[in-house]
């Protein structure tokens, strides 16, 4: 079975949200669901607000929606959306 390379964009509710804590919680959820985070980045949005982008690899049989829904339920998260998905082989 192929694996998916997924980029998850997480929007905090305000610029005051602790992004380090948010990142740790999101990475834990991804790991618990069978994913492996490889790349982390912050993307400036506006007025001091930054989106957290996590790129991870997960088996394609796992539900990407489950990751998005679980991360969206973290306190301080406005939304979590898979903005890029690619199938990897090998």
What is the predicted pLDDT for the residue at 82?
A: 96
Domain that holds residue 60: 3-88
pLDDT band at 61 (very low <50, low <70, confident <90, very high): confident
User: What residues does 77 pair with on adjacent strands?
Assistant: 12
CATH number of the domain residue 56 falls in: 3.30.70.60
What is the predicted pLDDT for the residue at 63?
A: 76
User: What residues does 3 pair with on adjacent strands?
Assistant: 59, 88
What is the predicted pLDDT for the residue at 90?
A: 63
| Sheet order of strands, 36-46 included | 36-46, 49-59, 3-12, 77-88
Stated length of the chain: 90
The helix (H) or strand (E) run that includes residue 15 is none
């Amino acid at each position: 079975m192929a694996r998916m390379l997924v980029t998850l964009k997480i929007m905090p509710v305000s610029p005051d949200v602790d992004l380090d804590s948010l990142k740790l919680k999101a990475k834990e959820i991804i790991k618990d669901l069978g994913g492996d985070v490889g790349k982390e980045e912050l993307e400036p949005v506006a007025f001091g607000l930054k989106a957290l982008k996590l790129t991870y690899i997960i088996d394609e049989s796992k539900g990407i929606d489950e990751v998005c829904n679980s991360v969206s339920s973290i306190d301080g998260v406005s939304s979590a959306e898979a903005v890029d998905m690619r199938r990897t082989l090998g």
